[in-house]
Structure formats: structure tokens, C-alpha cells
Amino acid sequence: MVKLLLFFALLHIASSEYIRVCYVTNWAQNRQGVGHYNISTDYEDKLCTHIIYAFANVTSDGSILPYEKTDIPIGYKAVNAFKKRDPNLKTLLAVGGWIHGSVGFTDIVKTPEGRWNFITKAISYLKKHDFNGLDLDWEYPAQRGSPPGDRHLFTLLCEELKREFSKHNLLVTAAVAAGVPSATISYEIYEISKHLDFINLMSYDLHGSWESSTGHHTDANEARPIYEHSVYISVDYWLSSGMDPSKLILGLAAHGRGWLLRDGCREWNLGTRGRGGSTRGNSTRARGILAYYEICDIQFQNRICTSSSSVNAPYGSNGQDFIGYDDEESIAYKVKNIMKKKNLGGFMFWTIDLDDFSNHCGTGKFPLIKAATAAVDQDIQPRACQNITHTGECPPPPTLPPNKCRVNPIGPWKGRIEEDEWCKDPDNCPNSPYCVHYKGCTSCVCECDDDVTGTAPPTISTVFTKASTTLPTKSSTTCSTTSSTTFSTKPSTTLSTKYSTTLSTKSSTTLSTLSKISTTSTESPVLPGACTVPTDQRLRRSCYINPQGLWKGDAIDLWCKANCRFVKTCATNMCCCDSGN
């Protein structure tokens, strides 16, 4: 017993040299079953050195507002209460996120007065709610509707935040893109490195079901060419661009990403052609992404483990889905061979509520986070998985639908990854009225790759008329949640992951486009289930997702709650707003 206590004491000394960041999300409390995360009770003391609460909303006037009604009375108080038991713990509030995009940020950085206004309000908000700092999660400067000049303005924001925050003993950090193309566009890396206390590198979601072929989203192949994606390439790019390694925090994932396969028994390896996101998990309920506590329940027919894998992480197939993920062994590999060898400042997990926080898998609570901590000591060997090879007969290949849907390549949705994902989801297309069998269609969301042709593309009014004859419409100041609908909903993938390719929300650009389309038709078409509400912004007190329409789902609900009151491009046919009663 004495030796065991001495061992853990030495382990704590070794790991204490590194920052251990844990994000916790304010929507994990809404998951069902084993995924329901209680912020107050499911955390384990001294697991992390920094807890970052995600997310809060930034408005155009520089104010910070909570996303959920429970944030202030429950969430904020819960994470900050941990500091009473662990005085060394620091808590930060993350502002922004993928759903939030650049809304608010682009307005506050335009002028010195706007930045100062945001900074002073942020200091007041953080102190009021007992946070130790702010985590900037602007995804991403100079992208997604953010003008090119925001790259430099983001640097100025970081510099000015740090100068004022230091006076109040507050931390300022940022979560940043790992992909080289995105990082090149968004950041002046050397400059922001000087001004931020540390930077959380989102070195995951490097691949996902928005791509046509399978890949590993935390690929750790050291030999990848520079034009491909891997954690090594991302880290090396940031370091070679002037990033202080002691401030760079390696992002680790407690979630996996997957594809639905065409013949998962025979063709399941890396590079296999997929057909949309993998089957939804029982708790996360989103195609293409699974929590670790869901992955451990998968009955793999084929699996390659870390020690045998070219990407130094496990992946496999259950006969239907391809899943790439991290386990204790691959997490330890990344910590030992990337974080430690490159002298990085520590590791970060997205997210604590996607790890096995309840010991559902039977290997202890928080196995991934604890594996990362243990890997700081080179003598610790994590539990290894076993390769699996399918030995039985494979069933006949499945008969696939004749129509393969994809995003309209020339219309208003061109280049929007989340639309492409929605179109490829077999639950939504080709049966959806938004998948139209015309080449060159400019007014529909999805186009089908088949041989069906028409004499002319349909008009805007034709597309919406077709939709409205399939699905019920509603014009009132409220939405009925009990009305039936045959339309499949968009998967709320963004609720479970952080990176820009999480695929389940509309940005203000799309909202603006939709609003424009819905008001230019001579027949004044409306989207299925749309609500008609007062246009007076003063009456848009509380917004929620149209429960019958195209955008039904938790992720869009969050967007509406955060933005509908403040953004004029919030189309009434997407978000239903009450009258303030």
C-alpha cells in the first residue's frame, strides 16, 4: 500500500508540470441515458488543472450572455464550486463555438471602442460569476462570413484582452483550428502566441463523414505529406510559425467519427468509400459521431488497434459502420510522442462529458483523461486493445437507393459542408422534397447524382410548392409540437464536437439566403412548418426552433436561442419567436 501511494504521489508530481484542460458542455445535461452528464456530481476532483465551460454567446454590442437558462444558476456555480475542493483549479468561460460562428465577433473587433467595450463587459461578467478567465472560441476569424481583415483584428483583440485581463489576474486563452489551410487564413500565429496565456489546438476532426472516403479524425501518422491532415502536421505547422511550444496545448478527443459503409463486412478499411455519417448513438443522437462510452458498446467485426495502425489509433467496422476513435493506448501515444517530445505545454480534452464519466465501459471513470495523465510518466503502460478479424461469411451486399444526393454545386448552398452532410444522410435524401432531380438546379438544397433529367430546372416557387404539398405548413404566432410531419430532421452533430466540421447548424449566411429565397417568390412560398411572427425586433424575446420544419433539432435550437434576438438575418421560417408574453 505504501508503495502504491508513493507511486501515485510521484505520478501527480510529474503530471503537475503540464496543463490538463477539460472542456465541459452545457448541453450534455440534456442527453438521455448513459450520456446524461450532471455537472455538479459527475466530475472527479483534481482530474484537470483547467475546466472550460462551453459555451456563452457574444452579441454585437459586446455583451456576453448565457446560452441555456440553467447556465448561471446551475452550470457556472457547479464548475466554480470545484475550486473549493481544489484550490489550484482554474475555470474559464468559452465564448463562441461552431454554432455561434463569427456572429458578434466581427462587430466587436471593428473598432478600438468596440474591443474595449467587449473587454470591460467580459471582465465584469467573469468576476460576477467567479471565472478565472475567458476562452476565445471564434470559429473562425477571416472565414465563415468573417472578412479577411479579421485575421489581424483577432490579434489586436488578443493583445488588448491580455493587457487588461492581467490587471485583474484573469487568464485569456483561445481554441484554434488545427488544419493548416484554416490556420493559415485565420491567425497571425507568432503574434497571438505572445498575447495569450495558452492556446488549445483542436487537433481532432481532421476527417469526418463530410468526406466521401473514410479517414481517422485524429490521424497521428508522422509520415503524412504536408498537404494531408495529421496531428503531427498540425503541431509542426503551429510551432514552425512561431508558436511558443510551452503555450501550445494538444487537443485530444473523447469522441470518434464514422461513416455508414456500402459493404461494411468486406470493405471497411481506411480510404473506403462511405455513404454519409455512421449510425446515431443512443445518447449523442447524431450521425457520424460517437462518444467513447458509446464506442465501447460496439461489436466490432474488424478492428485495427493502435500498435498495428498506420494512424497510431484504433478503427474498425461492425459490418455497417466505420468508426475511427481513440482509446487509452492511442491517447498515451499522442501524449508521449507528440506532447512530450515536442515540449508542448499540456493536453486538452474535448470533452469531459464524452469520456466514460460513469464507468459504463467497466474500465473505471474517465479512462481517456486518466490515460493521458498517466502517460506523462513513461513507465506507465495503458491497457491495449486486441485486433479483430471477421471470420464468418459476409451477407450479400445491401441494395442501395438508386438516387445519391449531394449538395447543389452551383446554388446558394454551394460549399456548405453541413448541407452536403444533410443531403448525404439516407434519412433525409433522396426521399426528401428538397432533393430535386434536375441538373444545374439553383433553387433546391440537394441534387441527385442519377440519370434523371428535365427540360428545365424548377423555379423557386416550384420547389417550395412541392415541399408544402408533402409537409404541413402553419401560420401563427406559435408552433405546434404535436403536429405530424414526414420530414426527416437535420442531425445535431454540433452538440458533441467542437471543430468547424461538426455539421449541424446554419450560419447567418445561410439564414440570410433562406430569408431572401422565401420572400422573392411570386407565390410567397414558406418552408414546411414555418411560423409567421411579428417582425418588430422588440417582440422577438425568446426564440426556439420550428418544431415541424426543416431545421428541427437541438443544434439549431441553440442557434436560435443565442441569435434570434440580436441578428436581423434570423429568418422567421427557421426560428419561431414568441411575442414576449
**Arithmetic mean of pLDDT, 32-49:** 97
Average pLDDT, the chain: 78
Q: Band of the pLDDT at 377, cuts 50, 70, 90?
A: confident
* pLDDT score at 383: 77
In whole angstroms, give the CA distance from residue 275 to residue 322: 11
Residue 112 phi/psi, 5-degree rounding, is -60, -35
Tell me the torsion sign for CA atoms 53, 59, 62, 65. Answer: negative
Average pLDDT for 437-442: 45
Q: What single-letter DSSP state applies at residue 455?
A: S
pLDDT class of 404 with cuts at 50, 70, 90: low
Asked whether 562 and 554 are in contact (CB, 8 A), the reply is no
pLDDT tier at 455, thresholds 50, 70, 90: very low
What is the pLDDT at residue 443?
Answer: 45
Across 49-77, average pLDDT: 96
Please give the residue that has the higher pLDDT: either 431 or 268.
Answer: 268
Report the pLDDT value the prediction gives residue 497, as an integer from 0 to 100. Answer: 37
Q: Which band of pLDDT confidence, cut at 50, 70 and 90, is reported for residue 485?
A: very low
| C-alpha to C-alpha distance for 129 and 144, rounded to whole angstroms | 31
C-alpha cell, 299: 461489436
pLDDT at residue 52 greater than cutoff 80 = yes
The pLDDT assigned to 541 comes to: 44
Band (pLDDT 50/70/90 cuts) for residue 376 is confident
Q: Which of 193-202, 373-382, 422-431 has the highest mean pLDDT?
A: 193-202
Residue 384 pLDDT grade (very low, low, confident, very high; cuts 50, 70, 90): confident
Q: What is the pLDDT of residue 271?
A: 95
- Confidence tier at 398 by pLDDT (50, 70, 90): confident
For the segment 431-444, the average pLDDT, to the nearest whole number, is 50
Using left for φ > 0, alpha for ψ between -120 and 50, and beta otherwise, residue 8 falls in alpha
Residue 554 has pLDDT above 90, yes or no: no
Exposed/middle/buried for residue 466 (C-beta within 10 Å: 0-12, 13-18, 19+):
middle
User: How many Cβ atoms sit within 10 Å of the Cβ of residue 360?
Assistant: 18
pLDDT one-digit tens code per residue, 302-337: 999 999 999 999 999 999 999 999 999 999 999 999
User: Quick check: is 139 catalytic?
Assistant: yes
Lowest mean pLDDT among 193-197, 289-293, 373-377: 373-377
Query: 370: number of CA atoms within 13 Å, CB side?
Result: 15
4-8, 214-218, 326-330: the lowest-pLDDT one: 4-8
Kindly list the distances between the CA atom of residue 423 and the CA atoms of 8, 41, 163, 256, 321, in Å, as whole numbers in the listed order: 51, 39, 46, 22, 18
Percentage of the chain beyond pLDDT 90 is 60
What is the mean predicted confidence (pLDDT) over 562-568?
51
**Taking 90 as the threshold, does the pLDDT of residue 370 lie above it?**
yes
Which pTM does this prediction carry? 0.74
Q: How far apart are CA 192 and CA 19, in angstroms?
A: 19
DSSP code for 435: E
Assign 544 to helix, strand or coil.
strand
pLDDT tens sequence across 264-277: 999 999 999 888 89
431 or 221, greater pLDDT: 221
Distance of CA 241 to the CA centre of its chain: 25
Task: Give the three cell numbers for residue 128.
Answer: 460576477
- Give the model's pLDDT for residue 501: 33
Q: What does the pLDDT read at residue 45?
A: 96
Write down the pLDDT at residue 276. Answer: 85
Q: What is the Cα–Cα distance from 435 to 437, expressed in whole angstroms?
A: 7
Which one is catalytic: 17, 68, 113, 139? Answer: 139
More confident residue, 458 or 82: 82
CA distances from 79 to 43, 75, 94 (A): 9, 6, 13
Least confident interval from 502-506, 554-558, 576-580: 502-506
Per-residue pLDDT band for 396 (boundaries 50, 70, 90) equals confident
User: Residue 513: its pLDDT value, please?
Assistant: 34
What is the percent of the chain with per-residue pLDDT over 70, rounded to a whole number?
66
- For 82-156, strand residue ranges (E) read 90-96, 133-137
447-457: average pLDDT = 42
- State the pLDDT at residue 531: 38
Is pLDDT at 435 greater than 80 in this prediction? no
State mean pLDDT over 280-297: 96
Average pLDDT over residues 137-163: 96
**497-519 average pLDDT score:** 33
Dmax (CA) of the chain:
83
Whether the Cβ atoms of residue 202 and residue 252 lie closer than 8 Å to each other? no
522: pLDDT strictly greater than 50: no
Tell me the C-alpha distance between 336 and 340, whole Å.
5
Helix or strand run (H / E) with residue 182: helix 180-186
Contact 195, 158 (CB under 8 A): yes
Residue 511 has pLDDT above 70, yes or no: no
> Of 468, 484, 487, 485, which is closest to residue 428 (Cα–Cα)?
487
